[in-house]
Structure 1
Amino acid sequence: MSPFTQKVIHIIKSIPSGSVMTYGQIARLAGSPRAARQVVRILHSMSGKHDLPWHRVINAKGQIGLSDDESFNTQRLALELEGVEFTKENLISLEHYQFHPDVTEMSDESDIPEW
C-alpha cells in the first residue's frame, strides 16, 4: 500500500461522528492536493476492508457526491443519524460540520509515515 493511501485511510478514520471532510481536503492533508479523485477510488475500494466511515466524506460544495438515489439516501441517513443537518438544497454547512484535524497529532501514529 502506498504512503498516500495509508495517509488517506488514516485521515478518513480520524473523522469524528457528526463531522465531514471533503475529498480535496483529505488529498491535501495526505500530501497530494490534486488527488481528490484518488481519494474517491480509495474510498470505493477500501471502505469495507478498512471499516472506513465513508459517509463522512463529501464534495467541496458541501454535497453528497453520490448520484444514485439509494446510495445518496444511505449516506444522508447515516450523516443525519450522527446529527449532521442538511439545507433544503441538500447542502451541509462546511463552516459548521467540516472537521479540521490537528496534523501534528495525526503524524504520531507509528504505522503512518511522517507528514
Structure 2
Amino acid sequence: MAALANGLSAFCGVAIPAEAAPVSARAGRSQRVSLAVRAEAAETTTASSAPINPSIRKDSDKVVDTVQADELSKPLTAYCRCWRSETFPLCNGAHVKHNKETGDNVGPLLLKK
C-alpha cells in the first residue's frame, strides 16, 4: 500500500499527507484503501494560471471534437491541444510559443490515416 501511495505521489506531483497513508492490513486479510486527489492551481499571476481555452467556443459547456480517421484528407494530420492555434482545431505550431512563455510541454495530437 505504501508503494501505491508513493506511486500516486510521484505521478501527481504532490505529497500525500501522513494521515492519508494506508494502515497495514491485519494478517491474512485484504484491505481496501480509498484515496482522493484534488488538483489545485498555483496562486500566481503568470500566464500559466490563465485558462488554457481563452476564446474557442466559449458558449459551449465543454468543447469536444470528433474526427473519423478514414475521413482525413492527409496521411498525417496534427490537431491542436493548446487552444492557441489560429487554425483550430488544426495545429499551426502555436504551442511552441505557449510552451516557451509558460514552461508547459503541450504538443499536437497526430492522427494517421
What range is the shorter-chain TM-score in? under 0.3
Provide the TM-score with structure 1 as the length reference: 0.22
Between structures 1 and 2, the one with greater helix share: 1
User: Considering only CA atoms, is the larger Rg found in Structure 1 or Structure 2?
Assistant: 2
Provide the TM-score with structure 2 as the length reference: 0.23
Pick 1 or 2: higher relative contact order, CA cutoff 8 A, min separation 6.
1
